[in-house]
Chain A
Amino acid sequence: MSFSVTEPSQRTKWFAGILVIGYAIITLVPLLWIIATGFKSPTDSIAYPPVVVFEPTLEGYVNLFTDRTRATEQMLEEAGPPTTWYEEIARERGTVITGQSRFGQRFMNSVIIGFGSTALCMILGTAAAYAFSRFRVPLKDDLLFFILSTRMMPPIAVAIPIFLMFRNLGLNDTHLGMILLYTAVNLSLSVWLLKGFIDEIPVEYEEAALIDGYTRFQAFYKVVLPQAATGIASTAIFCLIFAWNEYAFAVLLTSGTAQTAPPFIPTIIGTSGKDWPAVAAGATIFLVPVMVFTILLRKHLLRGITFGAVRK
């Protein structure tokens, strides 16, 4: 190894490493606590002092996905012995399962609206970013700034007229309405990011393609799109995570059929007080996919969260 004056000493590295790992562990504790609580029984979840070692149970998950009612002697007789593992868990608490809870449907809403708006946003955003990157668009800088400034408004401030507009158009509490709304909110970020990615692709590639007789459209999707694939994918994950996490619009504009999981999870309550294991189970199912995506995204994180203002 060559000697360098700027290379930190071994001792400095150890010191820095221990501090950073210490912070990372503190940061992780609340997240691990969510995951652990999901597997606790209600008694364990509110034990004092907080228990770290406990007997794991799937009760929280069963409670999350089902509606239950307190079983009477007669109901138990009618229902006969439990046939599935989740019925067994419910029986142990003296309850019978009466049906599915709304969580499954709310989670699907999140999936539909998240992926729907991301797909639409990528189609529109890539096209617009390509045009901004390659053509002389009149008032280009103004348009780009205008697109960015739409991100500065508090969501509640625009929610009032959007609420009125959606009501007039019959879009309140519909999947289509939420998809269009999230697409519009995400477009600003996508256009900025994608323009940055496309700017990095040398124009010469397309010029060569154009000379070979490709049309502009062909050059766009045969030359530019494959080159920009990584950038498009990482932008898409950013849009997906935004739509997945969004709360303010969701809580104001949806209440039933199109309600997503973030406004729903906090409303989960049990028969006696808040059912924290069920809440934690819902949170776990909802948060873990994002953590996986974060690992996939780590190389592009910086660009995404700063509108491409900072590149590594």
Chain B
Amino acid sequence: MTHSPIDRAALRTPPGMARRIRGLSDRTIAWIFVAPTIFLLLAVNIFPLIWTIRLSFTNFRVNRPNNAVEWVGLENYRRILSDPDVWNTMQATAHFLIWTIVLQVLIGFTLAYLINKKFRGNDLWTTIIVFPMMLSPAVVGNFWTFLYQPQIGLFNYVVSFFTGIDPASFSMIGDVHLAPWAIVIADTWMWTPFVMLICLAGLRSIPDSIYEAAECDRASKLRQFWTITLPMALPFLMLAVLFRGIENFKMFDLVVQLTGGGPGNLTTLTSIDLKREAFEKWRTGYSSAYAVILFVTVFGLASIYVKALNKVKER
């Protein structure tokens, strides 16, 4: 029998100590393995969360550490919820959320459906389509401002090529009507592949035998699509919507680089607004309350949605 270095070390270890090492119960090992992870998550995730909740009831400001910190109760929450600017931000976020999800689900599902026709080389093209979502949103978003430049931008050039509109006559980022769509287009370009991948997994999970049975029953292709493909892929579609919903509710990097929240406050999504309150105006207590409200909103909506998702899965 050959001994590995570890075995040899074990053999040389005095019996008493060896028993202690070997004798570690599974329970102890489990704790040794889990503890560092839990500790780090507590320190970097939970402790800050509790701190945020605490700060949200005070008038603390980071840039005035010497001011007395006063307990203000629910004052911050009242001010946020009655602030029309916050509601405008919420509206901008809702517009962004709804349109990105609608477009991404439509395009993503169509692409997945087509890829599932298993034409030659579909793997290669799927990988190419996936590229945008793996890249840094900040770096890519910054470059999209270049594509959106009036006159010289590639995007404007392509639009004018197909429609004949003067490329210098419109600015995707500067125009009040176009800016909310500029971020929707860039986000759709970036994240459609995500929805596509999940839909593809859904479509591939449908067993061929069901379609064979449908063929025997002489169900038309259209009918097969509505009664087999769509219902069976639905849980996957809903999962994609959940992930995109949570991610885009948190959206910061792409949009802040693309429009910086402008023009005016039109594309100021909640995360961008929160960043301004917390790190530009330094209203720490106020922005903490803001953060809590956002977190509760995401968590609440996600929980309701997951319940619905589970119901669909059970069917």
Contacts and interface: CB of A to CB of B under 8 A. Distances in A.
Report whether chain A binds chain B.
yes
B295 A160 contact: no
Contacts of A252: 275, 279
B134 A150 contact: no
Nearest to A312: B201
A302 B135 CA distance: 16
Contact of A143 (B10, B38, B142): B38
Nearest to A310: B201
Most buried by B among A29, A124, A160, A216: A160
A248 B137 CA distance: 10
Contact of A156 (B114, B193, B194, B252): B252
Nearest to A123: B36
Given A6-B208, A16-B119, A287-B139, A157 B131 contact: no
Nearest to B123: A298
A135 B139 contact: no
B2 interface: no
A248 B252 contact: yes
A291 B6 CA distance: 40
Given A152-B298, A291-B131, A131 B198 contact: no
Interface residues of B, number: 106
Main secondary structure of the interface of A (DSSP, over half): helix
Interface in A1-39: 4-6, 8, 12-14, 16-17, 19-21, 23-24, 27-31, 33-34, 37
Contacts of A180: 40, 44
B137 A245 contact: yes
Given A6-B211, A30-B144, A153-B295, A298 B130 contact: yes
Contacts of A47: 152
A245 B135 contact: yes
Contact of B147 (A30, A132, A301): A30
B120 A17 contact: yes
Contacts of B31: 131
Contact of A279 (B45, B120, B143, B246): B143
B70 interface: no
Contacts of A37: 146
Interface stretch (A70-78, A81-89, A95-103, A260-268): A260-268
B131 A28 contact: yes
Given A276-B146, A283-B143, A294-B131, A247 B6 contact: no
A135 B27 contact: yes
A312 B203 CA distance: 10
A184 B211 contact: no
B24 A216 contact: yes
A291 B250 CA distance: 24
Interface string A278-312: 01101100110011011100100110011001111
Interface residues of A, number: 102
B25 to A, nearest CB: 9
B265 interface: no
Given A13-B117, A16-B119, A244-B136, A160 B197 contact: no
A58 to B, nearest CB: 19
A28 B167 CA distance: 22
A146 B126 CA distance: 33
Given A245-B137, A266-B138, A23 B152 contact: no
A80 interface: no
Contacts of B193: 27
Interface of B: 4, 6, 10, 21-22, 24, 26-27, 29-34, 36-38, 40-41, 43-49, 51-52, 55, 62, 107, 111, 114-115, 117-123, 125-140, 142-144, 146-147, 149, 151-154, 157, 167, 189, 193-194, 197-198, 201-202, 204, 208, 211-212, 215, 236, 239, 243, 246, 249-250, 252-253, 257, 270-271, 274-275, 278-279, 284, 287-288, 291-292, 294-295, 298-299, 302
Given A28-B128, A128-B34, A158-B291, 17 more contacts: A6-B215, A13-B120, A21-B125, A29-B154, A124-B37, A127-B36, A128-B36, A131-B34, A136-B30, A152-B302, A153-B295, A158-B45, A165-B47, A245-B135, A245-B137, A247-B138, A283-B140
18 contacts: A4-B208, A6-B212, A8-B117, A13-B118, A17-B120, A27-B131, A27-B193, A124-B40, A135-B30, A157-B274, A157-B292, A158-B45, A161-B48, A161-B288, A222-B4, A266-B142, A280-B143, A290-B134
- Which 7 residue pairs spanning A and B have beta carbons closest together? A157-B291, A184-B44, A17-B119, A161-B48, A247-B138, A131-B33, A135-B30
